[in-house]
Chain A
Amino acid sequence: EVQLVESGGGLVQPGGSLRLSCAASGITLSAYWMTWVRQAPEKGLEWVANIKQDGSEKYYVDSVKGRFTISRDNAKNSLYLQMNSLRAEDTAVYYCGRRGASGDWVANWGQGTLVTVSS
């Protein structure tokens, strides 16, 4: 069974930093593109970032470019999201996800970790 488990969320002040982790089991992460998707409280879903199997390609939504960095450690079967210069509008549940085999949909989701940016 595929399991993705996020950690690292919490309360942070505006301008602060946080690093999210996603540990995978039941799959070999190195075989898949991986993604982060977020959901602000009572709002819809927003695709944040993608990373290729070997980390050679990364894509970010405009609102986080230059502030967030997606990375992976295939030896540890883990995905990361380094978030800097955090803003109130970054407050959300952050989900890691595994890209589908045939297209850019999220075939498997983690349970999510809540990031709250507030003073």
Chain B
Amino acid sequence: EVQLVESGGGSVQPGGSLRLSCATSGFTFSDYWMHWVRQAPGKGPVWVSRIISDGSSASYADFVKGRFTISRDNAKNTLYLQMNSLRVEDTAVYYCVRDERYAPSRWGQGTLVSVSS
């Protein structure tokens, strides 16, 4: 069974940092491009970042560029998102998402990041 399990969310003050992890199982992780997508309360999902299957290339939405870093460890079947200089507007549930034919095919259950003073 395909599983994606996020962790690492929590409450942090503006300017703080968090590292999200996404442990995967049930599929060959190293075969897939992976993404982070976030969803603020009551809003639609928003694409944040993606990384190709071997980890050699990544891209970011403009609103996180220079602050967030996506990475992966294919030996551990795990995806990461290092989030620095967090802002109030980064508050959202962050989902780890598997890319399949240019679509978000499988989603984790999400982890909540709350940024407030």
Is B a genuine binding partner of A?
no
B-contacting residues of A (Cβ < 8 Å)?
none
